[in-house]
C-alpha cells in the first residue's frame, strides 16, 4: 500500500480525498497556488508544497512542477481529483515515467475517451446504443454535410470531438442555420481545445441525463454502482444530482447498467469512471461519453451504495482486487446533491468573488457537506466558482428532498453571493418533487422559479439569521446586502462555464 499520496487539486475535492487518504493511514500531500496559500485544503493535508503562480496554467495545470514536488518528497501515488489534470493523458504518462502511480485509468484509455468520435466508434463496435449521427470528416463538402444532417433529421446537435463543459456545442434547428453553426462550433472548439474537429448527432428533445458509475480493477473485474440522474442543468452543466433516478424501472436500470459494464469492458477500463447516457421520453437510451475520473457528484453514489469510492480507487490503483462484486451491491435509500456556487443572479450569474465573512453549514442526520471554504476564505476569479456540495440521504426520495430543503435553509454563506436560495426554489418546485425532470427543466420552469414568484419566505435571510446565531460577531452591512441580494433577480439561462 502507498505511504504518501499527493492530491493534485484544490477546494472541496482535495479535502474530501485527503480525508480518505488519512483514514487509510497514508500521508496526504497538498499543493497550492499563491492565492491558495491560506486555503482550507492546505490546512487539511499533512504536508503542503507551493506550486507558485496565480492562474491555473501557472500552478494546478503544471505537470512538471507537480511531478518535481512528488519526486522530491517521496510521493508514491497522485490523485488528480476532477478538472485540472484529471483527464490529461500526458499527466498520467508523466506519472508513469516518474514511477509514481496515477490514481485513475491508463493514459491510452484517457486519450481515447477524451476523443468523443473515437469513444463513439468503440462503443458502436461493442454494441452499446449511441445517438444516431455522423462522425465528421475533415474533407466533407458543405453539400455532403447538408445531406448527412437532413438524413439524421432536424434538430441536430453539433459537438466538438475534444468537447467538455458544453463548449463547441450548437443546436441546429434547420438547414438554413447549419453552415454558420458549423463554422462557429469549429472556431470555439479550436479556441478551447486546439482541435477543430466536430461531429453531428440527432438532437434529442427534453432527454434525461442518466449516468452509471463504473469501476474496474487490474484483475479483470468490472462492476457498476448504479445510476445518478443529473437532469437539472444550466447551459449543459449539472447543478443538482440524485440517485436512484426516479425514471428507471428495475428492468431499464438492469439494461443500462449492463450496457455501461459492456462499454467499460470493451476498453479495458480500470479504476473509477462514469458512463453517461441520455434517456429519451420513450425510454430509449443512448451513450454520450465516458468520464475517466471521479465525478463531482460521486457522493450521491457513496450515500446510496455505502462504499467510499476514493478508498476503492486507492485500493485498485495499488493493485488490489475490487472489494465488492456486482451481486453484493444494493441501492439503499435516496440521495440528492446540490452544488453551491458563488454566483451573482443580479449580474447574469457571473461568478461572485470576495471574502467569506460568515460561514455556517447545516449539520444533522443524513446531511453531508463537502466544502472547500470557511469564514475568512477568499473566493477569487482564478478558479471555478463551486464552493461546496450539500448532500442529503434518507429512506425515500421525498424524505431526502425534505431534508435538502431544510438543510439549504440552514446553510449560511455571507460575503459572496451564492445560488443557495435558487437551489431551494428548485428543490421545492412541484415538478421537481414529482420527479418530472429533463435537461431543460430550468428553462421550462424559469418563470415559476423566479425569486419573487416562488419564495415569499426569505430563505436567505433565515440562513443569515442562523449564521448570526451560530457564529456571533459583527456582520458588515455589505454581508447583509449580499444575503438580501440573493432575492434580487430571476435565474437567467446565460452565465458561467464549468468544465466538469
The CB-of-314 to ligand ADP minimum distance in angstroms stands at 26
If the CB atoms of residues 131 and 379 are measured against ligand ADP, the closer one turns out to be 131
Is 320 a binding residue for ligand ADP by CB under 6 A? The answer is: no
Closest CA to 120 of 266, 338, 228: 266
- Binding segment (CB under 6 A) for ligand ADP, from list 174-182, 201-209, 313-321, 409-417: 201-209
In the complex, the smallest distance separating the C-beta of residue 438 from ligand ADP, rounded to whole angstroms, is 9
Q: Which residues contact 100 (CB under 8 A, 6 or more apart)?
A: 67, 70, 71, 75, 76, 77, 78
**Cα dihedral angle (338, 344, 346, 349), rounded to 10 degrees?**
-70
Interface residue with ligand ADP among 11, 35, 104, 207 (CB under 6 A) is 207
Give the one residue of 12, 201, 217, 370 binding ligand ADP; rule: CB under 6 A: 201
* Nearer Cβ to ligand ADP (235/487): 235
Torsion of the alpha carbons at 286, 288, 293 and 294, rounded to the nearest 10: -60
| Nearest residue (CB) to ligand ADP, 204 versus 423 | 204
**Stretch in the footprint of ligand ADP (CB under 6 A) among 156-164, 215-223, 247-255, 349-357:** 156-164
- What is the contact mask toward ligand ADP in residues 254 to 283, using x (rule: CB under 6 A)? ----------------------x-x-----
Query: Are the C-beta atoms of 109 and 119 separated by less than 8 Å?
Result: no
Dist. CA 42–CA 148, nearest whole Å: 52
- Write out the binding residues for ligand ADP, residues 276-315 only, by CB under 6 A: 276, 278, 288-289
* Number of CB atoms found within 10 A of residue 205's CB: 12
Q: By CB under 6 A, is residue 163 in contact with ligand ADP?
A: yes
In the complex, least distance from residue 178 CB atom to ligand ADP, rounded to whole angstroms: 16
* 293 catalytically annotated: yes
Of 188 and 344, CB closest to ligand ADP: 188
Nearer to ligand ADP, 276 or 302 (CB): 276
Marked catalytic residue, from 186, 293, 358, 403: 293
Report how far apart, in Å, the C-alpha atoms of 337 and of each of 148, 280, 327, 438, 484 are. 40, 23, 26, 17, 24
Site track 397-436 with ligand ADP (rule: CB under 6 A), x = hit:
----------------------------------------
The answer to whether the beta carbons of residues 347 and 396 sit under 8 Å apart is: no
| 164 scored as a contact of ligand ADP (CB under 6 A) | yes
Least separation in angstroms between residue 163's CB and ligand ADP is 4
Task: State which of positions 94-133 bind ligand ADP (CB under 6 A).
Answer: 131
Stretch 166-195 residues interacting with ligand ADP (CB under 6 A): 166
Q: What whole-number distance in Å separates Cα of residue 228 and Cα of residue 336? A: 9
Q: How far is the CB of 200 from ligand ADP (least distance, A)?
A: 9
Q: Tell me whether residue 373 is exposed, middle or buried, using C-beta atoms within 10 angstroms of its C-beta: 0 to 12, 13 to 18, 19 or more.
A: buried
Q: How many whole angstroms separate alpha carbon 66 and alpha carbon 79?
A: 11
Which of the stretches 6-14, 157-165, 243-251, 462-470 binds ligand ADP when contact is defined by CB under 6 A?
Answer: 157-165
Q: Does 204 bind ligand ADP (CB under 6 A)?
A: yes
Contacts with ligand ADP by CB under 6 A: the residue count is: 18
* Residue in 412, 406, 443 with CA at minimum distance from that of residue 428: 406
Q: Within its chain, how far is the Cα of 169 from the centroid? A: 18
Q: How many CA atoms lie within 13 A of 436 on its CB side?
A: 7
Binding residue for ligand ADP (CB under 6 A) from 9, 101, 233, 401? Answer: 233
- Please report where in the chains the cell 492546505 appears, as a residue: 42
CB of 227 or CB of 289, closer to ligand ADP = 289
**What radius of gyration, in Å, describes the C-alpha atoms of the chain?**
22
Element (H, E) at 335: strand 334-341
Nearer to ligand ADP, 129 or 166 (CB): 166
Q: How far is 500 from 238, CA to CA, in rounded Å?
A: 9
Contact set with ligand ADP (CB under 6 A): 131, 157, 163-166, 201, 203-204, 207, 209, 233, 236, 276, 278, 288-289, 439
* Residues annotated as catalytic (active site), given as ranges: 293
Amino acid at each position: 500500500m502507498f505511504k504518501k499520496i499527493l492530491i493534485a487539486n484544490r477546494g472541496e475535492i482535495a479535502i474530501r480525498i485527503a480525508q480518505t487518504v488519512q483514514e487509510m493511514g497514508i500521508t496526504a500531500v497538498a499543493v497550492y497556488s499563491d492565492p491558495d496559500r491560506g486555503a482550507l485544503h492546505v490546512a487539511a493535508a499533512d504536508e503542503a508544497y507551493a506550486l507558485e503562480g496565480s492562474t491555473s496554467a501557472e500552478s494546478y495545470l503544471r505537470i512538471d512542477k507537480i511531478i518535481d514536488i512528488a519526486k522530491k518528497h517521496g510521493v508514491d501515488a497522485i490523485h488528480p481529483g476532477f478538472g485540472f489534470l484529471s483527464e490529461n493523458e500526458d499527466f498520467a504518462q508523466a506519472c508513469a515515467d516518474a514511477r509514481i502511480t496515477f490514481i485513475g485509468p491508463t493514459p491510452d484509455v484517457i486519450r481515447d475517451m477524451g476523443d468523443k468520435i473515437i469513444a463513439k466508434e468503440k462503443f458502436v463496435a461493442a454494441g452499446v446504443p449511441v445517438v444516431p449521427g455522423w462522425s465528421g470528416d475533415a474533407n466533407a463538402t458543405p453539400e455532403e454535410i447538408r445531406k448527412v444532417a437532413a438524413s439524421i433529421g432536424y434538430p441536430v446537435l453539433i459537438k466538438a470531438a475534444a468537447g467538455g463543459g458544453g463548449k463547441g456545442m450548437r443546436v441546429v434547428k434547420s438547414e438554413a442555420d447549419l453552415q454558420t453553426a458549423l463554422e462557429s462550433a469549429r472556431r470555439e472548439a479550436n479556441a478551447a481545445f486546439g482541435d477543430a474537429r466536430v461531429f453531428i448527432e440527432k438532437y434529442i428533445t427534453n432527454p434525461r441525463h442518466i449516468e452509471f458509475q463504473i469501476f474496474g480493477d487490474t484483475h479483470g473485474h468490472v462492476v457498476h454502482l448504479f445510476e445518478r440522474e443529473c437532469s437539472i442543468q444550466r447551459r449543459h452543466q449539472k447543478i443538482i444530482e440524485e440517485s436512484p433516478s426516479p425514471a428507471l424501472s428495475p428492468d431499464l436500470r438492469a439494461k443500462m447498467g449492463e450496457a455501461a459494464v459492456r462499454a467499460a469492458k470493451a476498453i479495458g477500463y480500470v479504476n473509477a469512471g462514469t458512463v453517461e447516457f441520455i434517456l429519451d421520453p420513450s425510454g430509449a437510451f443512448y451513450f454520450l461519453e465516458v468520464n475517466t475520473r471521479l465525478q463531482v457528484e460521486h457522493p450521491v453514489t457513496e450515500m446510496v451504495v455505502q462504499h467510499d469510492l476514493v478508498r476503492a480507487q486507492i485500493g485498485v490503483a495499488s493493485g488490489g482486487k475490487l472489494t465488492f462484486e456486482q451481486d453484493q451491491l444494493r441501492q439503499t435509500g435516496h440521495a440528492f446533491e446540490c452544488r453551491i456556487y458563488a454566483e451573482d443572479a443580479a449580474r447574469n450569474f457571473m461568478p461572485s468573488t470576495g471574502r467569506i465573512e460568515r460561514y455556517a453549514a447545516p449539520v444533522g442526520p443524513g446531511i453531508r457537506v463537502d466544502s472547500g471554504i470557511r469564514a475568512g476564505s477568499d473566493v477569487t476569479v482564478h478558479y471555478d466558482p463551486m464552493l461546496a456540495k450539500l448532500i442529503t440521504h434518507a429512506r425515500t426520495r421525498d424524505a431526502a428532498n425534505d431534508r435538502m430543503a431544510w438543510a439549504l435553509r440552514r446553510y449560511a454563506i455571507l460575503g459572496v453571493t451564492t445560488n443557495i436560495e435558487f437551489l431551494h426554489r428548485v428543490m421545492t418546485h412541484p415538478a421537481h418533487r414529482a420527479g418530472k425532470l429533463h435537461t431543460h427543466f430550468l428553462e421550462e420552469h424559469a418563470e415559476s422559479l423566479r425569486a419573487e414568484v416562488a419564495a415569499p419566505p426569505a430563505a436567505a435571510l433565515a440562513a443569515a439569521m442562523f449564521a448570526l446565531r451560530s457564529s456571533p460577531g459583527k456582520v458588515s452591512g455589505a454581508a447583509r446586502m449580499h444575503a438580501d441580494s440573493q432575492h434580487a433577480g430571476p435565474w437567467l439561462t446565460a452565465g458561467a462555464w464549468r468544465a466538469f
